[in-house]
Chains A and B, each alone.
Chain A
Amino acid sequence: MCSSFIQVDVVIQTQTKYLDLIGSIGERIAKELDNFTGDRAALAYQLNLVLTEATVNAIKHGCDNAPQNCVRVTIHLQENELNIKVFDHGQGFDLETVPLPDFEHPGESGMGLFLIRSYMDSVTYTRQSDYNVLEIIKHLK
């Protein structure tokens, strides 16, 4: 198998105690990349953060007392593209209506998606018939 190919598929219960586990996977992946020439410590932090924020988002929006009370996270790395998908079973939300944080009067919440968008190249949220998926892409150099 090519060393620049990684596929991770994790399913957790909608509990915040698993955030460390999910974030740590991103951090470890950053440390394992063979051909990455950028700031590896910064990338490790960013992947930890993005996975943490995306999973919190799915836990918050996806609970709904559904029988399938879980969050699925997939991480796919091929060549230089890192693709993260976080699936939830909640009502979903419209990504385009999420406002930027008010930097002059910062609130105690509402920065998660801003952070994800700041560090990653592409963020989309798609509603399917029985689940939603937050898809995050980063091109690694």
Chain B
Amino acid sequence: MNLNLEKINGFSVLTIQDERIDAHNSGELKEYLLQMIEGGDKQIIVQLGHVRFIDSSGLGALLSGNKHIVAKSGRFALANIQKQVLSMFELTRLNRVFEIYADLNEAFSNEG
């Protein structure tokens, strides 16, 4: 999986460069997020702007990251979600679980 990690405004901003997250690469995303959290990252924003497809295992990988960081009193947010991908969060009601922002600036300006 093609991932890009940057530190911006005190946040760890993880940009997923791939267009597709499915059962073939979601395990890699889940493992990467766990390593970030175990390495001390407490404020993570995942940018999904390039992602045009996500399946249930991809949602599961993000859910795993969210659960682990919340357990450490950290913050996990999603930004730049494409329309069809967002409909998956709505159908599974995960839009009530995740902090979801239109873009990075909105995520930065919200205290969570």
Q: Contacting A52 at CB < 8 Å: which of B55, B60, B61, B91?
A: B55
CB pair B84–A19 under 8 Å, yes or no, is no
Which residues from 36 to 67 on chain B have a C-beta closer than 8 Å to any C-beta of chain A?
53, 55-57, 59-61, 63-64
Total CB contacts across the A-B interface at under 8 A: 67
Closest to A56 in B: B23
Contacts of A132 in B (CB 8 A): none
**Complex-state Cα separation, A103 to B89, whole angstroms:** 11
Is A141 an interface residue when CB atoms closer than 8 A count as contact?
Answer: no
Give the contact-size bracket for chain B.
20 to 34
Q: Cβ of A75 < 8 Å from any Cβ of B?
A: no
Q: Which residues of B lie under 8 Å from residue A49 when comparing CB positions?
A: 53, 55, 88
Partner of B57, one of A42, A56, A101, A114: A56
Chain B residues with Cβ below 8 Å from A20 are 20, 22, 24
The answer, yes or no, to whether B7 is at the interface (CB within 8 Å) is no
Set of chain A residues within 8 Å of B63, measured between Cβ atoms: 106-108
A contact face: mostly helix, strand, loop, or mixed: helix
Which of under 10, 10 to 19, 20 to 34, or 35 or more describes the interface residues of A? 20 to 34
Alpha-carbon distance between A118 and B91 when the two chains are bound, in angstroms: 8
Q: Which of B8-16, B92-100, B102-110 contacts A (4 or more CB under 8 A)?
A: B92-100
CB-based contact A52/B97 at 8 Å:
no
Measured between beta carbons, the chain A residues less than 8 angstroms from B35 are none
Q: Interface SS of chain B: helix, strand, loop or mixed?
A: helix
Is the beta-carbon distance between B22 and A23 smaller than 8 angstroms? yes
C-alpha spacing A107/B84, complex, angstroms: 22
Choose one: B22, B83, B92; the contact of A111 (CB below 8 Å). Answer: B92
Interface residues of B in 66-100 (CB under 8 A from A): 83-84, 87-88, 91-94, 97
Q: Which residues of A contact B84 (CB under 8 A)?
A: 41-42, 45
- Interfacial chain A residues near B23, Cβ < 8 Å: 16, 19, 52, 56, 59
Most chain B CB inside 10 Å of its own CB: which residue of A17, A109, A110: A109
Known contacts A20-B24, A23-B53, A101-B92; 16 further A-B pairs (Cβ under 8 A): A16-B23, A41-B83, A48-B53, A52-B55, A53-B56, A106-B92, A106-B94, A108-B30, A108-B63, A109-B57, A109-B60, A111-B56, A111-B59, A111-B60, A114-B92, A115-B92
List the 9 shortest-distance A-B pairs measured between CB atoms, nearest first. A108-B60, A16-B24, A111-B56, A45-B84, A103-B93, A56-B23, A112-B56, A16-B23, A19-B22
